[in-house]
Structure 1
Amino acid sequence: MEAGTLIAAFVIGLLGGVHCMGMCGGIVGALTLGIRGPVPGERARPAPFLLAYNLGRMTSYTLAGALAGGVGWFAAHLADVNQAQQVLQVLAGLFMIALGLYLAGWWHGLVYLERAGGLLWRRLEPLGRRVMPVRSPAQALGLGLVWGWLPCGLVYSVLFWSLAAGGAAQGAALMLAFGVGTLPNLLLMGVFAARLATVVQKAWVRGLAGAAVAGYGIYMLLVTW
């Protein structure tokens, strides 16, 4: 896989911070406020918990990317490989454009995709409740592993991109790069949640991020065609 593709996935994760605030901000805020130290009444330092939570989340993203990449590779080899790869690349580009419009708040069609993912989430969400309240980084890691499957149009769009990555390893690398891109926003969110919320909710910030992602989707289509 080309380094440029991984960098693009990282940047999309970074720009997706305008969406992460709405989807995961409450989870991260609750995790930060709810952690307790080993001594009753004592608060623990949030950094190890936030790192463990995000490590679990990115692990789930990477696993999902490997599954998607493997499925895409298998599907491509059932038909003409080059033709199937082109079809997947076109669909991935269209999803990137849809994601850009979604991030900017100009179109909300991906909400239906998130609702479909809710069917799986209803089965997984009770697992996250078993490790709450979070009292150790190990519990935060377990929570992150579960919450990595939270229905999210941003994640689903990049996951669809993983279908066209060329294989399980490539799909895993793509989702890992995306997950690393989301990391700065979610780590800062645990410390500066209120201030970040004010910034990312500005229309021009969302519009700029969405336009950049949609622009990359158009670039993907042009390269494929």
Structure 2
Amino acid sequence: MHCAPMCGPFVLGQVSDRLARIPAARLCESARLSSALLLPYHLGRLSTYAALGMLAATSGDILASAAPLGMLPALLLLLGALLFLGHAAGRLVPRLRPLIPASDRAPAAWVRGIARLTSGIDRTRPLGGYLLGVALGFLPCGFLYAALAAAAAAGNAAGGALAMLAFGVGTVPSLLAVGIAGQAAGYAWRRGITAAAPVVMLLNAIILGVLAWQRFAALA
């Protein structure tokens, strides 16, 4: 619901590059579908998310041992809930958007650095697609921050990696749809997505909030 409009252009650009390199005599529906799947790119993103989850959970575990009464995991879950709640509120009440931090905007230097890293990648080849996914996995995203906050409360590196893998897998279907059906998919589903997105975000906020409350209650 969030990835299609934000990351869809990266997918469409790769699909266009791949299709442009297929000879007209070999251009068929199966070739179009194989070009649109971009599996190496998605595997690259998942690799980055898993690594970030491991790092977040390891850091959270180290800090939790020093935090008063082990409150850090509960606070991290609460932070994830608040981030999801903020996104939901911004969609339900547009007037609140200026009050919500723009967590999807990266510093210009960060964007230029990623652009330089990816400029020489041949994204039409599997290895190039994988490396592009690895690099673009570091782009800022409010939902990524919320997922990392929850993953940091996992308590161990394996749990953090699995949590972020689950998050990454959840982002794949909408991007696959954009790659296969093009930007028209986003336009066709926009009304349904606009209605459903705040509800899904609120559910995420509630789940993380309940988990945070359980952690706080266990410390009481």
Question: 1:59·1:145 contact (CA, 8 Å) conserved in 2?
Answer: yes
Question: 2:83·2:143 contact (CA, 8 Å) conserved in 1?
Answer: no
Q: Structure 1 residues 62, 160: closer, same or farther in 2, change over 3 A?
A: same
3-state SS in 2 of match to 1:149: coil
Larger mean CA deviation between 69-78 and 107-116 belongs to 107-116
RMSD: 2.7
The count of aligned residue pairs is 206
Instruction: Within 5 Å, give how 1:195-210 maps onto structure 2.
Output: 195-202=184-191, 204-210=192-198
Counterpart pick for 1:124 among 110, 114, 125:
114
Counterpart pick for 1:186 among 175, 189, 192:
175
Q: CA deviation at 1:114?
A: 2.6
Question: 1:52·1:141 contact (CA, 8 Å) conserved in 2?
Answer: yes
> Aligned partners of 1:24 and 1:94: how far apart in 2?
23
Residue 181 of structure 1 aligns with an amino acid whose one-letter code is G
Confirm or deny that 1:151 pairs with 2:162: no
> Aligned partners of 2:172 and 2:200: how far apart in 1?
19
3-state SS in 2 of match to 1:90: helix
> Aligned partners of 1:194 and 1:74: how far apart in 2?
44
Residue 82 of structure 2 aligns with an amino acid whose one-letter code is L
Give the aligned partner of residue 165 of structure 2.
176
Question: 1:69·1:162 contact (CA, 8 Å) conserved in 2?
Answer: yes
Q: CA deviation at 1:164?
A: 1.6
3-state SS in 1 of match to 2:77: helix
Confirm or deny that 1:219 pairs with 2:196: no
Cα-to-partner distance string for 1:108-160 (whole Å, 9 max, x where unaligned): 4665223356553432221111114x231111111111111122222222122
Give the aligned partner of residue 162 of structure 1.
151
Question: 1:56·1:142 contact (CA, 8 Å) conserved in 2?
Answer: yes
Question: 1:51·1:187 contact (CA, 8 Å) conserved in 2?
Answer: no
Question: 2:81·2:146 contact (CA, 8 Å) conserved in 1?
Answer: no
Question: 2:45·2:134 contact (CA, 8 Å) conserved in 1?
Answer: yes
Instruction: Report the TM-score, using the length of structure 2 for normalisation.
Output: 0.80
Counterpart pick for 1:28 among 11, 15, 36:
11
Give the aligned partner of residue 9 of structure 1.
none
Counterpart pick for 2:49 among 61, 85, 95:
61
Instruction: Report the TM-score, using the length of structure 1 for normalisation.
Output: 0.78
Larger radius of gyration: 2
Q: Which runs of 5+ in 1 are unaligned?
A: 1-17
> Aligned partners of 1:75 and 1:117: how far apart in 2?
27
Give the aligned partner of residue 218 of structure 2.
none
Confirm or deny that 1:47 pairs with 2:37: no
Q: Structure 1 residues 154, 212: closer, same or farther in 2, change over 3 A?
A: same
